[in-house]
Structure 1
């Protein structure tokens, strides 16, 4: 009996010392299946592949349009010269500022600039940025082609635009399929808006495609 009691006491002590479960990281927009919320976006998003598609980031100014919780902005800021993280509400802009202050050394906080935009205007000046990034954002803009035309003057001559969005397929993760922007539709839209297609990648990411374009004749 004493042996059984000792074994029980040891088991109880071990169970009480188990570490707390790891916090769930930001799963991204519109996770439809609750089981997917435990998946690490850092794994399925594969940010390194997206950042490689953006090209050389050193001494570049990046506009992260629809920055959300700062998934990419916080990764880009230590590398790029400056990241303009654009969102549509004061609360999101304030949250991005909190991320900047918490994660960047005081001398480098100027590299991350949260900015309040409008639904039809990111509030970018002409020739202000080298790279424009849209991740899971363009499909939610009411008039995406007009918006692409709107941001074109903000890109410098050698600039590029990188669009990462949900594949138009049935998947457990992401928004409803009929709400998604098909890769071919995006390609046509970019051409009409005045861009030159550089690359379309429908394979590197499990759930999303990556389309890269630059200024026509840039």
Structure 2
């Protein structure tokens, strides 16, 4: 029986393409290396304020704020004001810069439900005057603000009549020591100095907490009973 003649084998097109591609790659220069791949990530990332500020601890120091009128002096971007407004009766967010007051109005609309927006009142004040009426508020809050005030005892004396008879003032400011974050140590107000100033302005010291917050102290005072 005669043998069958062998037909030439056909190379699949895909294999032929790969062979040609690999041959071409051998002569091509390697792609440039992105050196950013070898950059080390920062060993320390910025600490979020929500972590180190512990707003819950500050609210605890303020006591029961339900149905209270609160003056948040140096409200900034509303870190505390927007947290207080849903609970308190009213929050007066005080700033001395008109552009920040306008920004607070925008933040109020963005971060608070419509029915709660009426509880947050941005108010423009002066550097030497909080622009509060006598007996207008139950609680005065100053966070990271007191150290920037000139004539601090005189300013505290202007805050005193703004408080109602059973009102209190809560001051949170930077410890006068080297900390991972915060302003220059030389610019800070020592805890003992603040206590002396509150007493000189007529307040009665309730508590001084230098432990709860890592970078700040919390001082609470009320009106001196006469």
Q: Is the 8 A contact 1:196 1:216 kept in 2?
A: yes
**What residue number does 1:90 align with?**
98
Matched with 2:49 is 41
Q: Using the TM superposition, give the Cα deviation of residue 35 of structure 1 relative to its aligned residue in structure 2, in angstroms.
A: 8.6
Alignment partner of 2:215 out of 204, 207, 210 = 207
How many Å separate the matches in 1 of 2:220 and 2:142?
11
SS of 1:38 mapped into structure 2: coil
Match of 2:114 among 103, 106, 119: 106
Query: Which structure is larger by alpha-carbon Rg, 1 or 2?
Result: 2
> Are positions 1:135 and 2:159 aligned together?
no
Q: Tell me what 2:190 maps to.
A: 182
What SS is found at the alignment partner of 1:156?
strand
- Map 1:1-218 to 2 at 5 A: 38-217=46-225
Cα pair 1:36 1:173 within 8 Å, conserved: no
Distance 1:37 1:118 in 2: 36
Give yes or no for contact 1:83–1:112 (8 Å, CA) kept in 2. Answer: yes
Partners of 1:135 and 1:205 lie apart in 2 by 12
Gapped runs of 5+ residues in structure 1? 1-33
Question: Which consecutive unaligned segments of at least 5 residues does structure 2 have?
Answer: 1-41
Change (3 A) 1:122 1:217: same
In structure 1, C-alpha distance between the alignment counterparts of 2:163 and 2:204, rounded to whole Å: 13
TM-score, length-scaled by structure 1: 0.82
Query: After TM superposition, which residue ranges in structure 1, 4 or more long, deviate above 3 angstroms?
Result: 34-37
Using the alignment, how far apart are the partners of 2:45 and 2:83 within structure 1?
A: 21
- TM superposition shift of 1:38: 2.5
The question of whether the paired residues in 2 share the 8 Å contact of 1:127 and 1:153 is answered with yes
Change (3 A) 1:168 1:155: same
CA distance in 1 between counterparts of 2:147 and 2:225 reads 26
Please state whether the residue corresponding to 1:148 is helix, strand or coil. Answer: helix
RMSD: 1.5
Q: Deviations over 1:99-156 (max 9, x none)?
A: 1111222222110000000000111000000000000101100111110001110000
Higher relative contact order (CA 8 A, sep 6+): 1
Question: CA distance change for structure 1 residues 164 and 107 in 2, over 3 Å: closer, same or farther?
Answer: same
Equivalent pairs counted in the alignment come to 185
Supply the distance in 1 between the matched residues of 2:188 and 2:112 (Cα, whole angstroms).
34
